[in-house]
């Protein structure tokens, strides 16, 4: 029986091909099969040699045409068939990428694997619009939060713990539930005037963003009619956008938060 090949769980980053790691680029050039997610950009897919087989297993919110267990088993079958497999994921495989679920299935089936980290959207998108995630005097920590739970079950978080004013909150995949999330944060003590932002298609030519407040974030994001992935950033560091913002096409709420900048 042929020994299973190593499966490479590769982070594609936020979409800009220049933000791929050198190792990720090399593995894509060597791959026979690339199993990729919906959020992998067309520019990155274009880097894959024409001889490779591309298999799309992308998911939409509340629409998973290929369930995760089937994706897990697909990787096992391909590796045991002796194929050189890259599992390509937007962002980082281990940050809301289900990479650990796939890795566990590979381990259970005796398939070797290697994780190649990618730049996660929190770092890439916030940097692209001039919002550091930490800053002395404003934010001493960061929390990453998923905007939806497994099988779209009800959001059940430590809401009070998420309202620490010295912590930046970054919400992934939260467009469908942002109104519920912001309401729960305010209900549990967060300042309604806390600076907040929504970043759409961060790091790509289609990048757009709004700067708002916690109480207005859901409405402003809906009015922006974003298409594609949206990342939310909540915290005092958002106010630094006014000083550090690099993008000339800033879209923002008329009520720009007035927050003092610490040293």
Which letter does DSSP use for residue 114 in this model? E
Beta pairing, strands 85-89 & 113-116:
unpaired
Q: Is 243 exposed, middle or buried (0-12, 13-18, 19+ CB in 10 A)?
A: exposed
Residues 6+ apart with CB under 8 A from 41: 12, 15, 16, 17, 90, 204
175 has catalytic annotation: no
Kindly name the residue from 37, 92, 216, 220 that is annotated as catalytic.
Answer: 37
Kindly name the residue from 59, 80, 184, 191 that is annotated as catalytic.
Answer: 59
Instruction: Give the rounded distance of the alpha carbon of 159 from its chain centre.
Output: 21
Both tokens assigned to 5: 């090949």
Kindly name the residue from 89, 173, 175, 215 that is annotated as catalytic.
Answer: 173
Cα separation of 256 and 212, whole Å?
A: 7
- CA torsion 45-46-51-54 (nearest 10°) is 20
Strand partners, 252: 211
Residues 6+ apart with CB under 8 A from 143: 162, 167, 168, 169, 170
23 has catalytic annotation: no
Instruction: Show which residues are catalytic.
Output: 37, 59, 173
């Amino acid at each position: 029986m042929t020994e299973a090949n190593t499966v490479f769980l590769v982070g594609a980053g936020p979409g800009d091909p220049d933000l791929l790691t050198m190792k990720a680029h090399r593995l894509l050039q060597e791959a026979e099969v690339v199993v990729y997610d919906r959020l992998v950009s067309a520019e990155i897919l274009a880097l894959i040699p024409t001889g490779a087989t591309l298999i799309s297993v992308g998911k939409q919110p509340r629409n998973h045409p290929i369930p995760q267990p089937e994706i897990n088993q697909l990787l096992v079958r391909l590796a045991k068939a002796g194929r050189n497999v890259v599992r390509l994921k937007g962002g980082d495989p281990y940050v809301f990428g289900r990479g650990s679920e796939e890795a566990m299935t590979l381990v259970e089936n005796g398939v070797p694997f290697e994780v190649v980290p990618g730049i996660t959207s929190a770092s890439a998108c916030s940097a692209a619009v001039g919002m550091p995630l930490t800053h002395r005097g404003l934010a001493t920590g960061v929390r990453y939060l998923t905007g939806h739970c497994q099988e779209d079950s009800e959001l059940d978080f430590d809401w009070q713990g998420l309202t620490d004013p010295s912590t930046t909150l970054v919400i992934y995949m939260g467009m469908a539930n942002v109104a519920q999330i912001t309401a729960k944060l305010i209900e549990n003590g967060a300042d309604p005037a806390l600076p907040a932002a929504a970043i759409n298609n961060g790091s790509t030519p289609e990048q757009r963003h709004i700067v708002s407040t916690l109480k207005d974030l859901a409405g402003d994001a809906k009015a922006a009619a974003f298409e594609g992935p949206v990342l939310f950033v909540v915290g005092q560091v958002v106010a630094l956008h006014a000083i550090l913002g690099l993008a000339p096409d800033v879209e923002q709420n008329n009520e720009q938060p007035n927050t003092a900048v610490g040293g």
